[in-house]
Amino acid sequence: MQKRTQSVGTGNIFEAPHFISLWPWLNYKLTPNTKVSLSPIAYFDSHVFYDSPEDVKPEGVKEYRVSARLENEQKLKFFNYSNRYSLEYRMRDLAYNGDYQPNWRARYQIRLEKPLPGVLSKDKPLSVFVSEEVFIQFGKAVKNNPNIFDQNRISLGAGYEVFKNVKLSASYLNIIQQRISGKDIDNAHALWVVLAFENLFSQFKKKPGMTK
């Protein structure tokens, strides 16, 4: 579940909606370092970046999405290095008339993460990370767009496992996004906060040999 807001030039980053999503995933580890993921269906409601409160529309663009990912992580001596490849099939109500137009979007992310053991805890290290992700798109809904570039995201942040299998991360995100005209570029600065639950219920299972 994700919600994003925007300042629309007011200085208040919670002034207006930007994005809301319900995006479930099924994950499977092929190897200890490689994971494949599938999202069979997801729902999104998104707004463009607005320049002022007067530009804000009462509703966003409705979207349904099917997604697949392949992620490989390598734990090197000084840092962890990962590549993530994503392919999305998007169906969007771009004209707000219930006619959903399809297109594809491909994404590639590279990420470097550095664990810092002993900073906040001996057992659960704080980690810092930097990543870059490029988006390109093609298909019916965007075939008349000037080019296939969609956006680029660069992030810098830190993460910490506050409880077992519960991780909190916060990062600065720079979003460079091209509008339909091909001439206008949004350069947005975002605070990105994520609370992740991974294999949460496993910690409540009894371990072999344990008694009541």
Give the tens place of pLDDT for each residue, 38-52. Answer: 999 999 999 999 999
Could you give the domains of the chain?
2-204 (2.40.128)
**Can you give the pTM of this predicted structure?**
0.87
Q: Do residues 172 and 153 make contact, with C-beta atoms less than 8 angstroms apart?
A: no
- Give the tokens for residue 164: 């077992």
Amino acid at 43: Y
- Give the tokens for residue 26: 């099924």
- Give the tokens for residue 39: 């999202």
Mean pLDDT over 180-198 rounds to: 88
Question: How far does CA 161 lie from the centroid of its chain?
Answer: 19
Give the tens place of pLDDT for each residue, 145-168. Answer: 888 899 999 999 999 988 888 899
Number of Cβ within a 10 Å radius of residue 63: 18
